[in-house]
Amino acid sequence: MFLIDLIMDIIAFFCIYAIITLSLNFQQGYTGIFNLGLYFPIIVGAIITAYLPGRLAMIIYGLDPKLDFSANNALVLSILRTKLSSDPLTSILLLTLTLATVALVCYFIGFLSSYPALKLPADYLALFMLCAGESLRVIGMQTDWLAGGVMGITIVNPFWWLGGYSYYGIASFTIISTILIALLYHRLCESPLGRLLKSIRENELTAESVGKDVNSVKRKTLAFSFMILGLAGVLHAFLMGAVVVGGYTRVDFSFWPWLMMIIGGTGNNIGVFLGTFSLVIMRRIMIVGKHYFWFLPFNVVWFEPILLAIMLMVTLVFRPEGILPERSPKIKDYLRKVLKLES
């Protein structure tokens, strides 16, 4: 059972990071939008997940309005757990509403934040996004009623009706969502839109000169990626069963995905999957292995950023294009396509 739990845990976390790195690859690898603030929409997703489903459930079941979901968290959750354990329909409704709300809000925020962001050169756009993420993290940590502030908050599980298998329920849902999102990104990247994005990445001026509205495309790309990243935030929150906004750091939710993408191969979705898988496995091994270093006068967890830094350094120096570099289409493929069209 322990082995199954461990495998499920690794797969679920791989899925979360796969969604994040695929979104990053869509922005940076395909469109050339340099975004270091990936954790901004992830935090939005997590905060809405902490706020919305619990309160909605309270309204649906007519709980005492004097009870506050955040302040009386343990009591409210124990009541909701009893109710939701025998009510799969409401549970699924809560899950669907949360996902829909996060998708809408994140798309809107992505669209809105693109206005100041796209006025900036690439490097300052990255800084702007990074600072926006850090600002939201500060807001989340300071606002108790939103997501429990510094201490965090325990949230409802939309799969409580599965009894002892509720974790498997949310993990399976995460896996299915990841497969769907990966397929969606694959279709987008292989479509004419994917080629348009690449042309913008390579030379914005050329793309503009053939009548493409570069800013509009970039804005929609950013908004779409924000939406998917927000959904990753929802899935992560449900998987953890709690939201601690302070835990959504730039290292864990921006720098690690960047490393995963760079190691795997920027602009190549399969490479990104490979990079994500290898690093998730490595991080899980570190978490298990840290107990063997009990004798050190500091927490071994700090080796993680150092290891991340060393790996990033080695990759930048020795293999900047990643394990699986972006495939450039061969002349033969083009000829085949042209001949097919002519015939």
Partner 1 sequence: MVPLPILLTAIVYSFILSLLAMGFTLQYITLSVPNLAYATIAFASTYLTLTFSLMNLSPYVAMPFGFLLGGAISFILYKFVAFLRNRGTSIVGLMMATIVFDLIIYAGMNIYADYLAYVFKLYAGSFSLSEFDFKIFSLPAVLFVSGLTSVGLVAFFTLMLVKTKFGVAMRAVMENYSLASVHGINTERILSIAWFFVGGIAGLSGSLYPIWFAMDPWVGARMFISIFAACVIGGLRSIYGSLLGGFIIAFSEVVVTYFLSLYFPWIWAYRAVTSMVIAAFALVEMPSGIAGLIEKLRRG
Binding footprint of partner 1 on the chain (CB under 8 A): 28, 34, 36, 115-116, 119-120, 122-124, 126-128, 130-132, 134-135, 138-139, 142, 249-251, 255, 258, 262, 297-299, 302-306, 308-309, 312-313, 316-317, 320
Nearer to partner 1, 123 or 208 (CB): 123
CB of 120 to partner 1, least distance (A): 7
Q: Are 323 and 274 in contact (CB under 8 A)?
A: yes
* Interacting residues of 204 by C-beta distance below 8 A, sequence separation 6+: 214
Nearer to partner 1, 167 or 248 (CB): 248
Distances in whole angstroms, Cα of residue 62 to Cα of each of 56, 68, 73: 10, 13, 16
Q: With CA atoms as reference, report the closest residue to 19 among 163, 180, 173.
A: 180
Nearer to partner 1, 205 or 306 (CB): 306
CA angle 241, 245, 246 (to 5 degrees): 120
Q: Are 41 and 203 in contact (CB under 8 A)?
A: no
Q: Are 41 and 68 in contact (CB under 8 A)?
A: no
Q: Are 88 and 161 in contact (CB under 8 A)?
A: yes
Nearer to partner 1, 130 or 155 (CB): 130
CB of 213 to partner 1, least distance (A): 20
Q: Are 236 and 252 in contact (CB under 8 A)?
A: no
Report the C-alpha gap between 289 and 115 in whole angstroms.
Answer: 45
CB of 55 to partner 1, least distance (A): 20
Q: With CA atoms as reference, report the closest residue to 275 among 336, 234, 208, 321.
A: 321
Q: Which two tokens stand for residue 193?
A: 């839109």
Nearer to partner 1, 140 or 158 (CB): 140
CB of 158 to partner 1, least distance (A): 32
Nearer to partner 1, 39 or 273 (CB): 39
Nearer to partner 1, 320 or 329 (CB): 320
Q: Are 239 and 170 in contact (CB under 8 A)?
A: yes
